[in-house]
Amino acid sequence: MNSAPLEIARRMAGPLAARSREIEAARRVPDDLVAELRKHGFFRLCIPRSLGGEEAPALETLRVIEEIARSDGSTGWVVMVGCTTALLSGYLDEYWSREIYGSDPEVLSAGATAPTGRARRVAGGLEVSGRWQWGSGCHHADWLIGGSLLVGDDGEPVRDADGAVHHLLPFFSSEQVEILDTWYVHGMAGSGSTDFQVERAFVPEGRWIRFGVDAPRRSGLYQFPILGFLGLGVCSVSLGLARRAIDELVALAKAKVPTASQRTLAQRAYVQSAVAEAEAALRSARALLREAVDEAWQAAQAGDPLTVDHRLALRLATTHASRQSARAVDLMYHAASGTSVYDESPLSRIFRDMHVATQHIMVGPPTYELVGRILLGLDADTRSL
């Protein structure tokens, strides 16, 4: 992989962090910053080399996402969505894969997989109507995905002989999409994760995939499950937030002398313990994540489909990393005492961003239940892994 994106992400750290309050107040990443991210190739990490992308190893992409989120959580989130939706370039048929991801070197995709849209068969393709939440980065996206159920003339979902519905992921051009102003939140405000909708949008034949059914047309990176890779991106944002929280607290503790005290915050035993616990939580979470990703990557590179065990390990490591990152942030937030409640403190924003990131369905507590059932040898639906 071209190492430039990671190096550039590190060089951008200071300038990006300095704009965090601006990004949060705007409720979206500014246009000039998105243009810079495009120019430096951050959104091409998961696009095949045959289409001019990086096709970067999974861990490299996750490191880039973590590094950007360390500077600003909302910007890291938008980069994460752009990268993880681009994984679909390995699933689309060759024509549309090239048309969407190969014709513009700065292309950015976004969207939502939840099937809240309805798609009907029409001559030459689909007609889709629907509204979706969590459209992170939708203001800047060239293409948006909107999960939809295929329905018949009666409006009821079309089902296979085994009763399975057709969960489609159609691609809409930005001109087909109406962006709604719904993103008023306490954290990740700058991600612009607002609702979007389409009304009777035409999607030509082949400009969609059937989620959970269509196999990847490429090997390597594209053997990673779509939702599983999304989860990896989500927890990488959380790891970046946790790293920043620890760094901020350490810098604060060395300088702050609490009221009615003659010693710095760093000299207090509970602060020392909190920093050590947070560092251990972060490093151990990252280690488990990288172990799971590395094992899956080795199988994918060998051309083998990922097994249930691989996918289980990825989901467990993903949720664990997210939850341990939140624990690290909470420790730092409380160790900072009254400083962390002020908007001007980065710890205030990090705390709020983290507790929005943990609400993502891919890192929710039900993951533990599913993994536990499998580890105990009980019946479980593994399709969501």
Judged against a pLDDT cut of 70, whether residue 221 lies above it is answered with: yes
State the pLDDT at residue 384.
Answer: 78
State the pLDDT at residue 108.
Answer: 98
State the pLDDT at residue 179.
Answer: 98
CA R_g for the chain? 21
SS3 257: coil
Closest CA to 218 of 49, 100, 338: 49
Judged against a pLDDT cut of 90, whether residue 259 lies above it is answered with: no
* DSSP for 310-328, written as a single string: HHHHHHHHHHHHHHHHHHH
State the pLDDT at residue 1.
Answer: 42
Judged against a pLDDT cut of 60, whether residue 254 lies above it is answered with: yes
Q: What angle do CA 237, 239, 242 make, to 5 degrees?
A: 110
- Tell me the pLDDT band of 381, cut-offs 50, 70 and 90: confident
Tokens 């705007």 -> residue: 26
State the pLDDT at residue 3.
Answer: 57
Q: What tokens does 110 get?
A: 């976004």
Mean pLDDT of 71-86: 98
User: Which DSSP letter does residue 264 get?
Assistant: -
Mean pLDDT of 267-282: 97
User: Which DSSP letter does residue 157 get?
Assistant: B
State the pLDDT at residue 258.
Answer: 87
Give the distance, in angstroms, between the CA of residue 215 and the centroid of all CA atoms in the same chain.
Answer: 21
The domains found in the chain, sorted by start residue, are 4-90 (1.10.540.10), 109-210 (2.40.110.10), 224-379 (1.20.140.10)
pLDDT, tens digit (0-9, with 9 covering 90-100), for 103-118: 999 999 999 999 999 9
Mean pLDDT of 378-382: 91
Mean pLDDT of 187-197: 98
pLDDT, tens digit (0-9, with 9 covering 90-100), for 328-357: 999 999 999 999 999 999 999 999 999 999
**pTM for the predicted model, two decimal places:** 0.96
Q: Give the whole-angstrom CA distance, residue 86 versus residue 109.
A: 7
pLDDT, tens digit (0-9, with 9 covering 90-100), for 141-178: 999 999 999 999 999 999 999 999 999 999 999 999 99
